[in-house]
């Protein structure tokens, strides 16, 4: 049963359909909320939405996805529907996300960037157990594609024009 009702959709500030725009908007929202942009490595996202008044956000993907965060060696499962309430530095009431601990899948409920040490992020399970990791383990660098920049570009700084070499990507 979906947590996203027609009433929630109608009250949403933003609703998007299609993987490309949903990828872009979800990463943007995470960044705006001071969270690492790689927390939700979903694929084939069909719909995403955000209710600004309550902070409720949802993402729907075609099928469940398992992702291993290599820097910390953790396997995480993302269901077909992921929902949460999001605010600066926090994700609360998370649904659809589980992490594997030993041989058990543990449902996550909250994610918080440490206020006193913003380089640390904590994940809390519904049972109350929690783990803390470096934020950098969940940060994804944007890969820029070659957009036709000339090899010999001119950069103007104040009144000085500099010749610069631009590498092709």
- Per residue in 103-128, pLDDT tens? 999 999 999 999 999 999 999 999 99
Q: List beta partners, residue 65.
A: 78
Q: Residues 123-142: what's their mean pLDDT? A: 93
* pTM to 2 decimal places: 0.80
Identify the CA nearest to 55 among candidates 4, 95, 116, 12: 12
Give a yes or no: residue 63 inside a domain: yes
Q: Residues 159-166: what's their mean pLDDT? A: 40
| Planar angle of CA 114, 118, 124, nearest 5 degrees | 30
List, in order, residues 6 or more apart from 59 with CB less than 8 Å away: 22, 26, 40, 42, 45, 47, 48, 81, 82, 83
Give a yes or no: residue 154 inside a domain: no
48-94 confidence digits (pLDDT tens): 999 999 999 999 999 999 999 999 999 999 999 999 999 999 999 99
What tokens appear for 81 in the block?
Answer: 């529907």
% the chain with pLDDT above 90: 78
Count: domains in the chain: 1
CATH number, residue 108: 2.30.240
């Amino acid at each position: 049963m979906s947590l996203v009702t027609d009433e929630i959709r109608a009250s949403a500030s933003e609703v998007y359909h299609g993987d490309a725009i949903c990828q872009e908007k979800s990463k943007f929202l995470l960044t705006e909320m001071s969270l690492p942009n790689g927390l939700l490595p979903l694929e084939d996202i069909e719909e995403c939405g955000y209710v600004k008044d309550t902070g409720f956000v949802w993402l729907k993907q075609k099928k469940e996805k398992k992702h291993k965060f290599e820097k910390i060696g953790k396997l995480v499962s993302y269901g077909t529907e992921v929902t949460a309430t999001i605010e600066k530095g926090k994700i609360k009431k998370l649904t659809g996300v589980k992490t594997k601990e030993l041989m058990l899948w543990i449902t996550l409920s909250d994610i918080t960037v440490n206020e006193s040490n913003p380089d640390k992020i904590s994940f809390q399970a519904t049972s109350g157990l929690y783990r803390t990791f470096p934020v950098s383990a969940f940060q994804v660098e944007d890969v820029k594609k070659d957009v036709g920049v000339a090899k010999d570009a001119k950069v103007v700084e104040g009144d000085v024009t500099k010749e610069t070499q631009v590498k092709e990507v």
